[in-house]
Structure 1
């Protein structure tokens, strides 16, 4: 495959997949979020998106990104340095719980325009950039496995397989973006998560943590509704 052919695969629109594939991908994504044993594993993908959101916004707001750690219990930590208060710190803290849903929304927009291969390669680039900032072994393995799956599917997969993988990934981000927000509030209600993103934002802004959780939930639900509509009507 020459460079020109690769370029055309990246920028040219692919035909819309059949309705059954879109619905099937949505059903599998829902099961991956709803079934607890599966969720324990699939939640690692959400953690990658969550911590990647923190890291990306930290860089965009000119904070110094020190590193990202991903843990086997699906928790994570992103460290950045800079002013301890102010817009940059607020945006960085707010990016985590909104990142999976916003990434899903962006992916839905690409799929609605037929850019399936482009979506896969954008994900590869983002994961490669994140890999450079990972500071623990489990995190490296998690990102390498995820990025390797995207690379293998985009390079060797058939058009149908690429479509199925891309739609499954986007549906998963849209659906999975809701559950961690609900889990966060449940943990806060039990008196845990005192250092959660919502509680950090409360200390930074003076706005209650519950309102930040509500904002996270509104964003995730809005992305699910909008992105899901785009995916379902691109036929």
Structure 2
């Protein structure tokens, strides 16, 4: 299978992606995955923070908890539209992060830059917005691990790590949306419930909307990323240099 641009499906990437998704699903309840879950929670809260800044508000602080909960305390200008954007920002935050990891690693070949950017993001969020010592320690500690990975891992291992992070991020985003959609006790205290309070649109409708958008975004990013870009016949040629 190939796209209109001639990119062909990379069976190895697809197999590895499916392997990581299956492993994440199977080991979901194990303690070993807790740091990764907290990383995705930070992506979720960062989505709220970014949306807050985009609508002209200010972020007071962000906190993470060992039970995988998180909070972003913000001050917003008045207006229902701004609240809708900010409350929705968390849902799409982790989905956008998963899609971005896939595209940046495999479509744009950024590899180490992906880990470097994640390191800078975590460090900045921790120093600027961490609301307690645990959140600060997690952000700085994880940033340090990613910095070491970007510095010392070979390129192939960086690709595998980025794909694993993307797969797990996507899986967590979908599980998060699944809980809000089908678990009424969780939905009642979720971002969907906040949206329902301010818009009179039922929480389940908001959860369904963001689930649909999240699945579409992640599916598109996976489809594009799993296709290797065709090599141009001119890629191995170099322009002659001139002396002046």
- How far did residue 134 of structure 1 move? 0.8
> RMSD over aligned Cα, in angstroms?
2.1
2:215 to 199, 214, 221: 221
1:115-163 CA distances to partner (integer Å, 9 max, x unpaired)?
Answer: 1122222212221221120111221222223212211111111111211
Which position in structure 1 is the counterpart of 2:81?
A: 87
Q: Is the 8 A contact 1:116 1:163 kept in 2?
A: yes
1:146 aligned to 2:138? no
Which position in structure 2 is the counterpart of 1:165?
A: 161
Bigger CA radius of gyration:
2
TM (norm. structure 2) is 0.80
Q: Is the 8 A contact 2:20 2:164 kept in 1?
A: yes
Q: Cα distance 1:229–1:127, how it changes in 2: closer, same or farther (>3 A)?
A: same
2:226 to 221, 228, 232: 232
The separation in 2 between residues aligned to 1:93 and 1:167, in whole angstroms, is: 28
1:176 aligned to 2:168? no
1:85-116 CA distances to partner (integer Å, 9 max, x unpaired)?
Answer: 42222111101121111111122221212111
Unmatched segments (≥5 aa) in structure 2: 1-9, 230-244
Of 27-36 and 198-207, more deviation after overlay is shown by 27-36
Tell me how many residue pairs correspond in the alignment. 216
Q: Is the 8 A contact 1:22 1:164 kept in 2?
A: no
Of 107-116 and 74-83, more deviation after overlay is shown by 107-116
Q: Is the 8 A contact 1:26 1:172 kept in 2?
A: no
Unmatched segments (≥5 aa) in structure 1: 1-17
The separation in 1 between residues aligned to 2:165 and 2:123, in whole angstroms, is: 17
The separation in 2 between residues aligned to 1:92 and 1:104, in whole angstroms, is: 19
Q: Is the 8 A contact 1:69 1:136 kept in 2?
A: yes
Q: Is the 8 A contact 1:48 1:70 kept in 2?
A: yes
Which position in structure 2 is the counterpart of 1:130?
A: 125
Q: Helix, strand or coil for the counterpart of 2:59?
A: strand
